[in-house]
Structure 1
């Protein structure tokens, strides 16, 4: 007998908008992205979470707000 657990995470971009201030690395424009994460176990959705992530549009680095 074999048990197989199928877990999956999907991330989807909901929206983008410009954020104030320049990138500290290259001086480019910073974008705020709203990302929705879905965790599924055997095709049953278990967990939904929406996060805001910041990225530079020039150097494509992920920026962390402290």
Structure 2
């Protein structure tokens, strides 16, 4: 008996824009990138999310918001 588990994750960039503030590591500019994630199981979409990621344009570090 064989089981075939087929999962796939697609990530596409929707857009970029300038974010307020500066990088705490190098004082570079911060950009916000909107990303669309879609998980598929056997070519059927399971989950669909849109998230915003922040990163520095000078040192290319990914930045996180801490509340």
**If the length of structure 1 is used for normalisation, what is the TM-score?**
0.96
Runs of 4+ displaced beyond 6 Å: none
Shift of 1:60: 0.6
In the alignment of these two chains, the number of paired residues is 66
1:1-66 aligned at under 5 Å gives the runs 1-66=1-66
Cα deviation digits, residues 1-59 of structure 1 (max 9, x gap): 20111011111110100000110000111000000000000111111000001000111
Consecutive unaligned residues of structure 2, counting only runs of 5 or more, are: none
SS of the counterpart of 1:35?
Answer: strand
* TM-score w.r.t. length of structure 2: 0.94
Q: What is the distance in 2 between the residues matched to 1:61 and 1:8?
A: 26
